[in-house]
Amino acid sequence: IEVATEQNKYVRILKQRNQLLKSLRDKKVHNAPPDLFIWNTQLAHSAESVVKARTNVIEKLQERISDHYRGLGGTDDIVLLYASDVSKNATSYASKLLQYFESSLMRDIALGHTSFGPHRDDLVVHLASQPATERASRGEVRTIVVALKMLETQLLSERFKPENISPILLLDDVLSELDLSHQERVLDGLKDHQVFITTTDAHALTPQVHTIFLESPPS
């Protein structure tokens, strides 16, 4: 929730800066007007708030993600890393980003958009000390995604428990790359959540899952 709140603020300021950059490009202006520095400052401080909120969530996810992954049949440890071209330290993100704004000014004007910031950052997943994009099979990637979604749902449930609000988890065709054992583990792990799940193989679903069948009309 905190991440979404900070990101919404950031996106609003980002749009304003990008609109100004496009205007400067269209008018072929190469000197930054004073109002651009105002947007730079606001955007940099908002960006730092976004990064702090994100890193806080990643720390909470990191505490439990390996256990969730093993519960779904995984065997290796998972490490979550916040990847940024600006700064690895959230507390210095704003000052570093302002430096990038200054050095990339001509490029940003030419492109008409902002080249650096948390909208360019990423979450990197390591499996057994190696990037999951390089090491993990398609089935392992599916399992990691499900583990992250289940953990996210759990954290939201804990966050809104006083209000008696439970999140609904939407999963699209997550079973197709998994063998039978892993399918059973995933479905068992989801039994305590409100879930909408799509699949092209109804036989993979347990009898406890309420199903709706949709058929494509003949062409």
Which residues, including other chains, have CB under 8 Å from residue 77's CB and lie 6 or more apart?
66, 127, 128, 129
* CA dihedral over 209, 178, 170, 191, signed as positive or negative: positive
Rounded to whole angstroms, the Cα distance separating 126 from 174 reads 20
Residue 48: predicted pLDDT? 96
Q: Are residues 92 and 184 in the same domain?
A: no
Residues 99 and 193 in one domain: no
Name the pTM for this structure. Answer: 0.84
Q: What is the amino acid identity at position 135?
A: R
Residue 204, class by beta-carbon neighbours within 10 Å (0-12 exposed, 13-18 middle, 19+ buried)? middle
Predicted confidence at residue 84, as pLDDT, reads 94
Can you tell me the distance from the alpha carbon of 74 to that of 65, in angstroms, rounded to the nearest whole number?
A: 11
DSSP SS3 for 113: coil
Position 192 in a domain: yes
The residue range of the domain holding 181 is: 142-204
Are 48 and 108 in a shared domain?
Answer: yes
Residue 18, in any domain of the structure = yes
Task: Based on the fold, state whether residues 187 and 109 are members of the same structural domain.
Answer: no
Burial class for 134, CB neighbours closer than 10 Å (0-12, 13-18, 19+): exposed
For the chain, how many structural domains are there in total? 2
Q: Are residues 53 and 148 in the same domain?
A: no
**Cβ contact 54:157 at 8 Å:** no
pLDDT per residue of the chain (219 residues) written in tens, 0 to 9: 789 999 999 999 999 999 999 999 999 987 888 999 999 999 999 999 999 999 999 999 999 999 999 998 888 999 999 999 998 888 899 999 999 999 999 999 999 999 999 999 999 999 988 999 998 998 899 899 989 998 998 898 888 888 888 888 888 888 877 888 888 888 888 877 888 888 777 776 766 666 666 666 776
Asked if residue 97 is part of any domain, the answer here is yes
Same domain for 161 and 114: no
pLDDT of residue 215: 67
Tell me whether residue 133 is in a domain: no
CA distance 149 to 171: 9
Q: Do 98 and 35 have their domain in common?
A: yes
The predicted-structure confidence for 151-205, as pLDDT tens digits, reads as follows: 998 898 888 888 888 888 888 888 877 888 888 888 888 877 888 888 777 776 7
Residue 39's pLDDT is what?
Answer: 96
